A = this chain, B = another copy of it.
Amino acid sequence: MNPGEMIKDILTKKESVKNVFFVACGGSLVEFYPPKYFMDAEAKSCSAFLYSGKEFVCAAPASLGENSLVLLCSHSGKTPEVLEAAALARERGAVIVTYAGVAGTPVNEAGDYNVVYGNATEEGSHYGDSPVLLSLRLMGELLAATEEYPLLDQLKDGISKIDTVIYHAMEQVEERARVWGRAYEKEDMMYILGSGPAFGNVYGFAICSMMEMQWQHAAYIHSAEYFHGPFEVTDKNTAYVVLESSGPARCMDERAIRFLKQYGAKYEVVDAKELGADIIDERVVDYFTPLMFYKVMCVYRKELAKLRNHPLETRRYMGKVEY
């Protein structure tokens, strides 16, 4: 069932969808940031909420009910917090859509609609099948069906172009990622900046690619918030990576880059526009750049891992000890 058919089916069973809850943990939570952002910007009457799994259960929303749509994502398909969230959503009578990386897992069986995305974010894939774009399209279809959202065709067009954008961008950064790796491999601390729908990737690069996979100290800073405190640590020795969006969010990133040009020295700008994201309609492009940033930053992190002799799969706690 594609996202359009799924929405049609949901709307035969429910009179309306009043709100949408995106619930996941860590890297999977990052997948939901762009569709949540899309809903905040584009939805006239359907509200959306983004929750880390356990938080959703601890502070069970009073508005979660029979006219709610709950989207869950788990790469392993086994995340306990996501299963707790599924139980709560079920109890409240919500419609549940799950995205799992692995078929036959508990999360993959917890929903009314269960999507297995497999390795849709790995090399050689069609990135339109990734949870971020499947859930983005689902939201586009929902708003088109219920609120006359006018840009569904542009969203679909973006999905059709995303493979081209990503493969091209990944190729384009290969050499600069090597240069970056050599320059940054000995950093103690890395600040990641960005804004708009890409802020989820700022978060993800800091907590997954850096902390989890490289045991690298890192912090994620919103480009607009940077000027309300965080910029005071900036000097010529502090390392930054800025994800520069292509659409409406770009002005926030540009401002941070201007500041870094003047007062910083060690900063890497990953510019979505320069990397070709702007072949996608500018009214929707910022919803697509997050996935592009993710794949491009995979090229960067690979260089760091190689130079440090610290493979990206190395863990000391995750899946190894009790917690």
Q: Which residues of A contact B (CB under 8 A)?
A: 18-19, 25-27, 29, 37, 40-45, 47, 49, 52-55, 58-63, 81, 188-189, 195-196, 206-208, 211-213, 215-222, 224-225, 227-234, 238, 248-249, 251-252, 255, 258-259, 263, 315-318, 321, 323
Copies held by the complex: 2
Query: Is A41 within 8 A of B25, CB to CB?
Result: no
Contacts of A252 in B (CB 8 A): 54-55, 58
Contacts of A61 in B (CB 8 A): 40-41
| Cα of A265 to Cα of B323 in the assembled complex, Å | 16
- Known contacts A40-B61, A219-B217, A232-B212: does B224 contact A81 (CB below 8 Å)? yes
Contacts of A43 in B (CB 8 A): 62-63
Query: Is A211 within 8 A of B225, CB to CB?
Result: no
Query: Is B232 within 8 A of A317, CB to CB?
Result: yes
- Known contacts A40-B49, A44-B62, A323-B255: does B219 contact A206 (CB below 8 Å)? yes
A-B contact pairs, 28 of them (CB 8 A): A26-B229, A40-B61, A41-B59, A41-B60, A41-B61, A43-B63, A52-B225, A54-B224, A55-B249, A55-B252, A58-B196, A58-B251, A59-B249, A189-B189, A189-B217, A206-B219, A208-B228, A211-B229, A213-B232, A216-B233, A218-B219, A227-B318, A227-B323, A231-B323, A232-B315, A234-B317, A259-B323, A263-B317
Query: Is B228 within 8 A of A26, CB to CB?
Result: yes
Query: Is B47 within 8 A of A19, CB to CB?
Result: yes
A20 → B minimal CB distance (Å):
11
- Known contacts A63-B45, A218-B219, A248-B59: does B232 contact A318 (CB below 8 Å)? yes
Contacts of A219 in B (CB 8 A): 206, 217-220
| Cα of A248 to Cα of B26 in the assembled complex, Å | 21
